[in-house]
Amino acid sequence: MSNGILGVVLAGGLATRMGGFDKGLLQLGQQTILDRVLERLYPQVDDIVLNVNGDVERFGSFGLPCIADSLTGYLGPLAGVLAALEYARERQFSWVASVAADTPFFPTDFVARAMGKALESQAPVVLASSFDDEKSKWMRHPTFGLWHVSLENNLRDALQSGIRKIVIWTDSVGGVEVKFAHASGSCDPFFNVNTREDLVVAQQEEQR
C-alpha cells in the first residue's frame, strides 16, 4: 500500500440550519465556500473526493468524484469518513484527510502538521484543535482529521452499534490532537459557516 493521502471534503450533511441548502455552495466573494476549501486542500493531499448524499449533480461543476455514505440513515460526519476510508483502501491510499465543506479559512499546513503528529505519536487518527477565546480552552474540530485506513472496520462496527459522536470514537482508538494557535481576537482558522449570520462574519473576514 502506498503512503498517499486522500483528501475528502465532508459535504454530506443535511444543512438544516441553512434550510437544507448546501453550505459549501454559498458565495463568499467571487467564489463559493467550497471553491475556497478546495483551493486550500489541493496542495496538501494526493487526490480529493467529495462526500455527498443525494443528487450529486449539484456538485458536478467541481469535476471531482462524489461518494455517498455507505451506511444509510444520515449517520453524521463519521459515516462520511467511513465512505472515504473504503474508497481510499480500494485505491491504495494509506491515509484520509477530512475537512468540512463550510470552513473556508482552515490552515494550509493542516495535513502536514497532522501527519507529523501521527508519525510522532503513532496514533491512527489525529484531530485538529484551536484555542477558543470565549471558553478559554482548546477545542477539537472533529471534522478536520487525519485517519489511517486500518480504522475502516472498527469505524463501521462503531457506527452500526450506534456511536455518532466523533470524539467518543476517536478517543476509543487512541486518537490525539494537533493544536493550531491563532492571534487573540482574530478569526479561528476553523470557523465554519453554519448560519446566515456566520456567512456575514466570513464575508467580513474575507475583506480584512
Q: Evaluate whether 111 touches 97 at the Cβ level (below 8 Å).
A: yes
Q: In this predicted model, what pLDDT tens digit does every residue of 32-88 receive, in sequence order?
A: 999 999 999 999 999 999 999 988 899 999 999 999 999 998 899 999 999 999 999
d(CA 183, CA 128): 17
pTM of the full predicted structure?
0.91
pLDDT (0 to 100) of residue 185: 64
How many CB atoms sit inside 10 A of residue 20's CB? 9
pLDDT (0 to 100) of residue 3: 66
The domains of the chain, with CATH numbers, are 5-206 (3.90.550.10)
Residue 14 confidence (pLDDT) above 60: no
Q: Evaluate whether 65 touches 52 at the Cβ level (below 8 Å).
A: no
Grid cell 444543512 is found at: 15
Residue 15 confidence (pLDDT) above 80: no
d(CA 208, CA 197): 17
pLDDT (0 to 100) of residue 16: 43
Q: In this predicted model, what pLDDT tens digit does every residue of 140-152 receive, in sequence order?
A: 999 999 999 999 9
Higher pLDDT, 108 or 198: 108
Q: In this predicted model, what pLDDT tens digit does every residue of 156-200 receive, in sequence order?
A: 999 999 999 999 999 999 999 999 988 766 788 999 888 888 888
d(CA 23, CA 18): 7
pLDDT (0 to 100) of residue 12: 75
pLDDT (0 to 100) of residue 196: 81
Residue 17 confidence (pLDDT) above 50: no
CA-nearest of 30, 71, 69, 27 to 50 is: 69
pLDDT (0 to 100) of residue 74: 87
Q: Evaluate whether 7 touches 41 at the Cβ level (below 8 Å).
A: yes
